[in-house]
A = this chain, B = another copy of it.
Amino acid sequence: MTLKKYLLAPGPVPVPPNVLNAMAAPIIHHRSPDFVELFAEVKEGLQHFYQTEQPVLILGATGTGGMEGSVTNFLSPGDKALVVNGGKFGERWTKICTAYGIQVTEIKVTWGESVDVAQVEAALKADPAIKAVYVQASETSTGTAHDVKAIAALTQGRDTLTVVDAITALGVIDMPMDAWGLDVVVSGSQKGYMLPPGLAFVGVSEKAWGFQRTAKCPRFYFDFAKEKKALEGNQTAYTPAVSLIVGLKEVLKMVREEGLQNLFARHARLAEATREGMRAAGLTLFPTGTPSTAVTAVNAPEGIDGQDIYKTLRTRFGVTAAGGQDHLKGKIFRIAHLGYADTFDTITAVAATEMAIAALGGKVNLGAGVRRAEELLG
């Protein structure tokens, strides 16, 4: 038999078989009443998933498209933005802002640390002209979380938006958009949604819509006002990725069946078991800040290249995890517990890691990590 495959990367994640089946049904037309009905259900399900009363926009793009729109729809060239840059995706906020002529003040956070909220507070105090704070809820490149709740609290009552990249956080950690006062929340289909890549989602607060009306950055495909208007008629501004929307209906139904709090608890349980399992196997974790509930970044042990671990997992054991990015390449590897993931995915992750390190001649307590994970997941 060819090697059986296990997809444990921080996106794309496996798609549940019932969802794959639903998406394989014959294409329906996006202007047909069937689609409109489906879309109305999806719209409501998205608000539930986001924990918001606000409309959640659906864009035909990856999360990066949603990030770009979350710059161009709320700011004008020359405006000031504060970017929390603690990894590859924090850096992306800066790149997008710069491409559109936004003046960026960066809080550089050492990779693996969570931003010090006092620093954000000080930066906001120092410059009342800052119109938006851009931050990740979960920085996928480092497996580290930032405290977006505390940051949103700082922008309440001032003319500043909190814009959150929640691409690997939504549906993973409990981050109620309305209750926390998050203004703009971006997510993507291939993560907590358990869908193939191809859709981005953006929740937008009333306060942010106020910014949208005067923002002058050029935009066309990612025009949120046009999408909001289309949404009111149960459509998207441009032809929606029909099969993904069909899948979306299925996953949002699964989310309701599981219940949001159970879903967050499952992710927290798997994340903890992964971290504890890795430690019990004799490994150390990369983050020094709050670890992400979506993905665990593990240090490659002394004398072993992190890319070799990633490759051995894949080629010898059929497990697709992720390596390190940029300067972390070779230093860490990352294993996700995100979306369509449960107990034995985590057991597999820990066991395969033990076996890969042993295969590479590393020191590892074979079975010790799995034992610890079993204790926590039993």
A161→B360 CA distance, assembly (Å): 55
Q: Is the CB of A197 within 8 A of B60?
A: yes
Taking a contact as CB atoms closer than 8 A, the residue among B65, B99, B314 that contacts A61 in the complex is: B65
Taking a contact as CB atoms closer than 8 A, the residue among B29, B65, B217 that contacts A60 in the complex is: B65
Residues of B within 8 Å of A290, CB to CB, are none
Say if the beta carbon of A259 comes within 8 Å of chain B: no
Q: Is the CB of A62 within 8 A of B60?
A: yes
Select the stretch in A110-118, A128-136, A147-155, A218-226 that faces chain B.
A218-226
Taking a contact as CB atoms closer than 8 A, the residue among B24, B99, B197, B322 that contacts A21 in the complex is: B24
Q: Is the CB of A99 within 8 A of B27?
A: no
Closest CB-CB distance, A216 to chain B, in whole Å? 11
- How many protomers of this protein does the assembly include? 2
Residues of B within 8 Å of A68, CB to CB, are 220-221
Residues of B within 8 Å of A7, CB to CB, are 26-29
Say if the beta carbon of A100 comes within 8 Å of chain B: yes
- For A32, the closest partner residue in chain B by CB is B320
- For A13, the closest partner residue in chain B by CB is B27
Using known A-B contacts A61-B60, A221-B64, determine if residue A197 contacts B241 with beta carbons closer than 8 Å: yes
Chain A 209-245 interface residues, beta-carbon cutoff 8 Å to B:
217-222, 238-244
- For A196, the closest partner residue in chain B by CB is B243
Say if the beta carbon of A78 comes within 8 Å of chain B: no
Say if the beta carbon of A15 comes within 8 Å of chain B: yes
Q: Is the CB of A64 within 8 A of B238?
A: yes
Q: Is the CB of A221 within 8 A of B65?
A: yes
Residues of B within 8 Å of A11, CB to CB, are 239
Say if the beta carbon of A83 comes within 8 Å of chain B: no
A219→B60 CA distance, assembly (Å): 17
Closest CB-CB distance, A282 to chain B, in whole Å? 27
Q: Is the CB of B24 within 8 A of A20?
A: yes
Residues of B within 8 Å of A64, CB to CB, are 220-221, 238
Say if the beta carbon of A87 comes within 8 Å of chain B: no
Q: Is the CB of B99 within 8 A of A242?
A: no
A29→B26 CA distance, assembly (Å): 25
Say if the beta carbon of A301 comes within 8 Å of chain B: no
Chain A 277-293 interface residues, beta-carbon cutoff 8 Å to B:
none
Chain A 9-34 interface residues, beta-carbon cutoff 8 Å to B:
9, 11-15, 20-21, 23-32
Q: Is the CB of A238 within 8 A of B23?
A: no
